[in-house]
Amino acid sequence: MSRKITAEDFLQIKMVSDPRISPDAGAIAYVVRRIDAEKTRNKYLSGIWVHDLETGTSLQFTGFDSSDSSPRWSPNGSTIAFLSDRNKPLSQIMVVPADGGEARTLTHNEVEGSISSIKWSPDGSRISFLFRATPEPFTKAAIEERKSKELPAPVRVHKALNYRYDGAGYADGSFLQIGVVDVATGDITILTSGDYHCDDPVWSPDSTTLAFVSDRNDDSDIEHGRSGIWLVPATGGELTEVPAPKGYKGSLSWSPDGAYFAYAGNPDLDDPWGTNNTRLFVLPSMGGAEARDLTGHTDRSVGYLTLGDVHDAGVGDDIQWSADSSKLYFPVGTFGDQIVCSVPLEGGDVTVLTPRTAEAGGFNLHAASGKMAVAIARPTRAQELGILTSDGSIEILSKHNDAWHAEVDLPEPEPVSPANGDGGTVPGWLLKPSDFDPSQRYPFVLYIHGGPHGQYGNTLFHELQWLASEGYVVLYTNPRGSKGYGEAHTKAIWGDWGGPDYKDLMAATDWAVAQGYVDEARTAVMGGSYGGYMTALIVGRTGRFQCAIADRLVSNRHSMSGTTDFAWRHELYFKGNSWDNPEPLWNCSPLSYAAGVTTPLLLIHSDGDLRCPIGQAEEMFAALRLQRKVVEFVRYPAETSHGMSRNGPPLLRLDRLNRNLEWLQRWLG
């Protein structure tokens, strides 16, 4: 007999990601991230597993008491390299024999910092990586020394706007640089320097050169989206820029024949919020010719767009090539689905490879055999390892969440598309309690996603399932402004948050109430980030909801524009600026509607949130409390960030869920 899902159940869910097929196509290495539910219940652990395709068995290789990630097979298949935190605070690259055995540290890096994006050279002699050093005053040793001498914390000096990043903290003049380590000797060479971030390093097919993406303009903190493609010899030397169109570039990939670069890009320099579809471009590796857009005709956006709270999505290489360099493979977020597609190098029709009504949250193509491994999730199934079959379905290979699924009842979300009153529809899903009786009337929750330019979709979302299990009818939608439904849908709220999106959300609520099983006297609205913004704006405009929860909200666009971790370019996406034309920013701020709030409002925010700083909640709380309105402010500590509800400390995530439920029960019964 299955049971209802509980708040604590997210502690049991395991997240599968980053599948990597071995060179002989006989095995798949992948990552399993879990919460240490047996001990502290407040720690994430990740380990490397290997699935044998012949025997059908999975074996854990690493990560029993540490966090290991990014498994990468050596070109000859004898070794798996991976990242490990077992030597904290030093991040290291480790290697383990592919047939089992003890892992050993390869890098022996004595500089504190973070390592990411590891890749073997095609000849197997070196591994490239990204490295950001921890500035010396903020290393563990320096902090402990100051503490022992009772000295104050060091002063921070900022010279550019990109001085902090949500989830990573303050940069303090440290930038992502490219390094290589010699596999035989462990010798490390850092290839780049300067006050510029490097990203997406990829090897040339002959192992002599690394290409990477970097915006090396001195005002890159002000004018975004001018990243270029650069080359550096693998042994060190001068950088060379490849002539390429301006605009955002990411997910760089070098074709096996060496003739082309592929990248995901947005050439519009005046689109700082990414309302355009991200497109797949190819460019001759020598540059000089205009990049060709292979996906613009589809009105689909390349990348991982689907939001969730119990998945690891977008881990791995976004753009992959066939062995003969004639075809490219890439992820697309569309109509709530997360799919893998392919397109010929010469352009033409885009082919959908993975199933609909699912989230392919990461994939790996074995170019020689054509096999494709996929990390797959569905609305009622947690992530597992799968492999694409010849008929386009996914064969599930792993069973990490089978025992949990066997005991928990998860209702299937019902796709809905109510009319929005402007000639369109509001795509979304309705979750009902598992014992739903249409003759009864239920309390109702409208849940609004963040972004705003992302999408809810066909993946497991623990919090929404749990709210339904507690007796609520839950409606979650992709109103205008969401991605996945074409550029016109996304651009509909360009600089106009609270316009068409507000109409869509109210129309969807009207539709739900009209179904007859929603109790109009017991309705709530809630959401996080942009969803928190819309929640606060809605209760300032209407008193139709009996309570509301605004999580990590934006309340004041004027103050937000200069305090977030990405300072806004003014007069582009939003009209107005913060110094001599503040009115447009203020007029669409929820704080400007605070006098009209009559709905009890719960504010959830984190001291460590650098995307929507804590002051956004403080301003709203003060404005409502000074008017003696019903408001509470739950403030989480500095070790939490903007993504606390998805990847914050597990016990604090659990605390947040229970506080949300208590608020709903207090006002809706």
Q: Give the chain's domain count.
A: 1
Task: Give the count of beta carbons closer than 10 Å to the beta carbon of residue 556.
Answer: 22
Instruction: Yes or no: say if 127 and 181 are a contact pair by the CB < 8 Å rule.
Output: yes
What is the pLDDT averaged over residues 657-662? 98
What is the pLDDT averaged over residues 218-227? 87
DSSP 242-261: EP--SSEEEEEEE-TTSSEE
In a domain, 347, yes or no: no
Containing domain of residue 442, as a range? 411-668
DSSP 489-532: HHHTTTT-TTSHHHHHHHHHHHHHHHTSSEEEEEEEEEEETHHH
Handedness of CA 70, 71, 75, 78 (dihedral sign): positive
pLDDT for res 666: 98
pLDDT for res 158: 93
Nearest to 532 by CA among 422, 449, 634: 449
Which helix (H) or strand (E) element contains residue 314?
none
In a domain, 361, yes or no: no
Catalytic pick from 224, 449, 642, 645? 642
Q: Is 193 a catalytic residue?
A: no
Catalytic pick from 17, 114, 301, 529? 529
Q: How confident is the model at residue 394 (pLDDT cuts 50, 70, 90)?
A: very high
Backbone angles phi, psi at 355, to 5 degrees: -70, 155
In a domain, 626, yes or no: yes
Assess whether pLDDT exceeds 90 at residue 88.
no
Assess whether pLDDT exceeds 70 at residue 44.
yes
Q: How confident is the model at residue 1 (pLDDT cuts 50, 70, 90)?
A: low
User: CATH code at 503?
Assistant: 3.40.50.1820
What percent of the chain stands above pLDDT 90?
Answer: 90
In a domain, 472, yes or no: yes
442-448 and 473-477: which strand pairing?
Answer: parallel
pLDDT for res 316: 79
Long-range pairs, 170-175, Cβ under 8 A, ≥24: 170/138, 172/135, 172/137, 172/138, 173/135, 174/113, 174/132, 174/133, 174/134, 174/135, 175/132
The angle formed by the CA atoms of residues 111, 113 and 115, to the nearest 5 degrees, is 110
In a domain, 615, yes or no: yes
In a domain, 525, yes or no: yes
pLDDT for res 89: 79
Residue with tokens 């998945």: 311
Assess whether pLDDT exceeds 70 at residue 332.
yes
Strands (E), 393-435: 394-396, 408-409, 414-416, 428-431
In a domain, 557, yes or no: yes
The DSSP letter of residue 455 is B
Q: Is 642 a catalytic residue?
A: yes
In a domain, 116, yes or no: no
Instruction: Yes or no: say if 246 and 357 are a contact pair by the CB < 8 Å rule.
Output: no
How far apart (Å, rounded) are the C-alpha atoms in residues 264 and 250? Answer: 5
pLDDT digits (tens, 9 = 90+) for 407-434: 999 999 999 999 999 999 999 999 999 9
The whole-chain average pLDDT of the chain stands at 95
**How many secondary structure helices (H) and strands (E) does the chain include?**
11, 41
pLDDT digits (tens, 9 = 90+) for 429-486: 999 999 999 999 999 999 999 999 999 999 999 999 999 999 999 999 999 999 999 9
Nearest to 413 by CA among 398, 433, 397, 395: 433
Looking at the whole model, is its pTM more than 0.85?
yes
Assess whether pLDDT exceeds 90 at residue 41.
no
How far apart (Å, rounded) are the C-alpha atoms in residues 664 and 661? Answer: 5
How far apart (Å, rounded) are the C-alpha atoms in residues 634 and 550? Answer: 10
